[in-house]
Amino acid sequence: MQNVKLPIERSKVRQIVDSERFNNIVFIAILASSISIGFETYDWGSTGNNLLLYLDWIFMSIFVTEILFKIYAMRFDFFRDPWCLFDFIIVAVALFPSSGVFRVFRVFRVLRAFRLVSRIPELKLVAESLFYSVRGLAAVATLLMVVIYVFAVLSTVLFQNSGTDGAMYFGSLGKSLFSLFQVMTLESWSNGIVRNLIDTEGWWVGVYFVVFIFMTTFTFLNMFVAIFTNTVVALEADSEDGSNSEMRRINQNITELSNQIELLRKELSESE
């Protein structure tokens, strides 16, 4: 009898796991756990720290129960779902002893905050767009690194002997790479680096760095934004097409059912 009841019990657990109430409870637990971990970065005294530790065990119990329920209900399908696998790894790592070097593993539970993305459609769209944009963004990033490397070599040759500031910022290839990254982010590039080099080398230094900024900061930033925006638009279009095709299929089924009902009605009227 137990072998017969087991699938029924598993189906009931699956209904619970897929229910909106269960997912809302897990959602609230993840949110509260993330806030609790943030509070743990402060010293609240023995009473407060013990309270946070007690809350930590409560949240871990909820998460472990969630994982066990899902594994029992979904079986091997659990490990085929990327989000479920992500949850399993985070919870398993957080179960390491919270002493010594293993203490950092327990804090990894805060990574479950990324799970909130799947509950908010707008955030899910942004996350999916980032995922599908990786290839294009990686290509642009590679081209950007090539441009920075070329300018780093040129800057090292041109400015490494330009007084104290030249040796400080462009005395070696590594220093040039870091300094150009600083210039690209527009952090103190004018007063901190370029003006001192202009006083030593001349006005052309300003033109050199302005060209570098236009080629990196403005051009590549716009390329990153364009790739991401196009991906978002494409995903939204696919979603709308999918919903429209679903509505068309439903309408078609309704029309077919109406025609069949009409045929049955005519047959019944003729038989009478």
Q: pLDDT tens digits, residue range 260-270?
A: 666 666 665 66
Nearest to 103 by CA among 94, 90, 111, 112: 94
For the chain, domain boundaries: 2-119, 134-253
Whether 184 and 216 have beta carbons less than 8 Å apart is answered as yes
| Span of 11-25, 82-96, 103-117, 119-133 with lowest mean pLDDT | 103-117
Q: Do domains 2-119 and 134-253 have the same CATH topology?
A: no
At 96, list the tokens. Answer: 């390491």
Give residue 254's pLDDT band: very low, low, confident or very high (50, 70, 90): low
pLDDT score for 133: 78
**pLDDT band for position 4 (50/70/90)?**
very low
Mean per-residue pLDDT over the chain, rounded: 78
2-119, CATH topology level: Four Helix Bundle (Hemerythrin (Met), subunit A) (1.20.120)
Which residue has better confidence, 130 or 162? Answer: 162
Distances (CA, A) of 98 to 44, 56, 64, 65, 129: 18, 11, 16, 20, 36
User: What element of type H or E holds 95?
Assistant: none
According to the model, what pLDDT value does residue 154 have? 92
Q: Which amino acid is located at 168 in the chain?
A: M
> Mind listing the pLDDT tens digit for each residue in 175-218?
999 999 999 888 888 887 888 888 888 889 889 999 999 888 88
Where does 134-253 sit in CATH, by number?
1.10.287.70
Which range in 30-34, 103-107, 244-248, 253-257 is most confidently predicted, on average pLDDT?
A: 30-34
Q: Is 163 left (phi over 0), alpha (psi -120 to 50) or beta?
A: left
CA separation for the pair 220, 2 (Å, rounded) = 64
What pTM was estimated for this model as a whole?
0.57
Q: What percent of the chain has pLDDT over 70?
A: 76
Average pLDDT of the segment spanning 238-257: 58
Give the chain's end-to-end CA distance (angstroms, integer). Answer: 51
Indicate the residue type of 253. N
Between residues 15 and 248, the one the model is more confident about: 15
State the Cα–Cα distance between residues 224 and 222, nearest whole angstrom. Answer: 5
